[in-house]
Amino acid sequence: MNMQNRMESDIATMRWVGGTDGFLQMIDQTLLPTEFREIECRDVETVWEAIKKLRVRGAPAIGIAAAYGLVVALQTGTGSERPDFDQRLTEAATYLAESRPTAVNLFWALDRLQNLAAGLPTLSNEEMHTRLLEEAQRIEQEDLEMCHKIGRVGAELLTAGDGVLTHCNAGGLATSGGGTALAVFFEAARQGKEIRVYADETRPLMQGARLTTWELMQRQIPVTLITDSMAGWVMQEQKIQAVVTGADRIAANGDAANKIGTYSVALLASLHEIPFYIAAPSSTFDLSLASGSQIPIEERLPEEITHGFGKQTAPEGVD
């Protein structure tokens, strides 16, 4: 399946190469902006590692990668009988679900493919494998279409000349290519609104500095990089008219979880009476959770703070 309605500015974050015996190719985002390299995921372990190590990140992109990860997993160890195939599918889904806990799109995509297989028990292994690949491609296509719709709706909220702040990276790199929060900026710029984006650096892994600024500069959209601690100051200086971020998971009451630091930005926006918008696709909503207090929060290795990018920046043994 070829991706339809892809805009010229969309980034091909990942793509499936070949048929059911093919592989998943994706941009290694840990190397940006200094190096552009694509990696090939030819087994489920490589997909798991890419998600865990943030080579692919952003809730929608994680979901798409996980769906393709199941297709890769089913290339081996399925046996000749359908029960063996279904067992391998379950094992691979359980394995991939352990990669990152917060992004609900991961679990949503895995459940979608498992439910498809459960509803078609009479198909052969080969037929079911083909259907699962088609479903993964459908998830990617649907995400791309939702990104463009988010951009069109969100751009209506911005006025020509606005300064807008965003945290982390919710652009094409975090999705099938169109972006969520950044889709709003892409569309506003396309409409000639001449906005300026203020991008938080987003510690400790600097997704704002490394990825958001890179995406915006690729599209020649004016962007100013600020430290995370500058958000309040630029608001006080009236440089910001709106804040737009993505989300990893949204509960039934509208509570949203996003990259660490988003809560502080939201409080600052509220204090300065600046509108704060969450831009996310429907796959990010988790209606099984009543509120944000039930969202599982990922805790990552302390070395990401104490030894960021291979350089020690804190004493050994610090809590």
Are residue 157 and residue 286 in the same domain, yes or no? yes
Residue 313 included in any domain: no
Classify residue 311: in a domain, yes or no.
no
- Does one domain contain both 272 and 157? yes
Residues 129 and 184 both lie in one domain? no
- Please say if the pLDDT value at position 4 is more than 60: no
Residues 119 and 85: their CA atoms lie apart, in Å, by: 14
Q: How much is the pLDDT for 6?
A: 54
Average pLDDT score over the chain: 95
pLDDT single digits (tens) 230-242: 999 999 999 999 9
Is residue 116 domain-shared with residue 140, that is, in the same domain?
yes
Q: Which residues pair with 286 in a beta bridge?
A: 251
**Domain assignment present for 174:** yes
Q: Is residue 265 part of a domain?
A: yes
Q: Which one is catalytic: 143, 200, 248, 286?
A: 248
Q: Which CATH number does the domain housing residue 64 bear?
A: 1.20.120.420
Distance CA 69, CA 135 (A): 12
Burial 211-240 (b: 16+ CB within 10 A, else e): bbbbbbeebebebebbebebbbebbeeebb
Q: Which amino acid is at 211?
A: L
Query: How is 37-73 classified by DSSP, letter by letter?
Result: -EEEE-SHHHHHHHHHTTSS-SHHHHHHHHHHHHHHH
279 and 170 fall within a common domain:
yes
Give the domain range for residue 251.
152-293
Both 136 and 183 in one domain: the answer is no
Q: Indicate whether 2 pLDDT > 70.
A: no
Q: Is the same domain home to 221 and 156? A: yes
pLDDT tens-place string over residues 137-193: 999 999 999 999 999 999 999 999 999 999 999 999 999 999 999 999 999 999 999
Alpha helices in the chain (DSSP H): 44-52, 59-73, 82-97, 104-118, 125-155, 181-190, 207, 213-218, 231-236, 262-271, 303-306
**Average of per-residue pLDDT across 292-319:** 94
Domain containing residue 202: CATH number: 3.40.50.10470
Give a yes or no: residue 310 inside a domain. no
Which among 97, 113, 148 is the end of a domain?
A: 148
Q: Is 251 in a helix, a strand, or coil? A: strand
In a domain, 67, yes or no: yes
The predicted-structure confidence for 127-141, as pLDDT tens digits, reads as follows: 999 999 999 999 999
Residues 164 and 135 in one domain: no
Which of 129, 148, 167 finishes a domain? 148
Q: Active-site residue 200, yes or no? A: no
Over residues 66-125, the pLDDT tens digits come to 999 999 999 998 888 999 999 999 999 999 999 998 889 999 999 999 999 999 999 999
For residue 312, what pLDDT band results from cuts at 50, 70 and 90? very high
Q: Which residues contact 76 (CB under 8 A, 6 or more apart)?
A: 43
Residue 113 forms part of a structural domain: yes
pLDDT of residue 1 exceeding 70, the answer is no
As a whole number of angstroms, the distance between CA 75 and CA 69 comes to: 10
18-48 tens-digit pLDDT: 999 999 999 999 999 999 999 999 999 999 9
For position 303, what pLDDT does the model report? Answer: 94
Give yes or no for a contact between 114 and 132, defined as CB atoms under 8 angstroms apart: no
Is residue 18 assigned to a domain?
yes
CA distance 278 to 233: 22
Whether residue 3 has pLDDT greater than 70: no
Do 240 and 258 share a structural domain? yes
Q: Which residue, 148, 164, 179, sits at the end of a domain?
A: 148
Judged against a pLDDT cut of 70, whether residue 60 lies above it is answered with: yes
**Residue 173 has what DSSP assignment?**
G
113 and 195 fall within a common domain: no
| 279-290 residues labelled b (16+ CB within 10 A) or e (exposed) | bbbebbbbeebe
* pLDDT bucket at 10, cuts 50 / 70 / 90: confident
**Same structural domain, 143 and 160:** no
Alpha-carbon torsion 249, 204, 94, 23, what sign?
A: positive
pLDDT band at 12 (very low <50, low <70, confident <90, very high): confident
Question: 50 with 96, same domain?
Answer: yes
Q: How many other C-beta atoms can be found within 10 angstroms of the C-beta atom of residue 277? A: 17
User: Residue 17 — φ and ψ, nearest 5°?
Assistant: -115, 120
| Alpha-carbon span 135 to 109, nearest angstrom | 10
Q: Is the pLDDT of residue 7 over 90?
A: no
DSSP 211: I
Domain count, the chain: 2
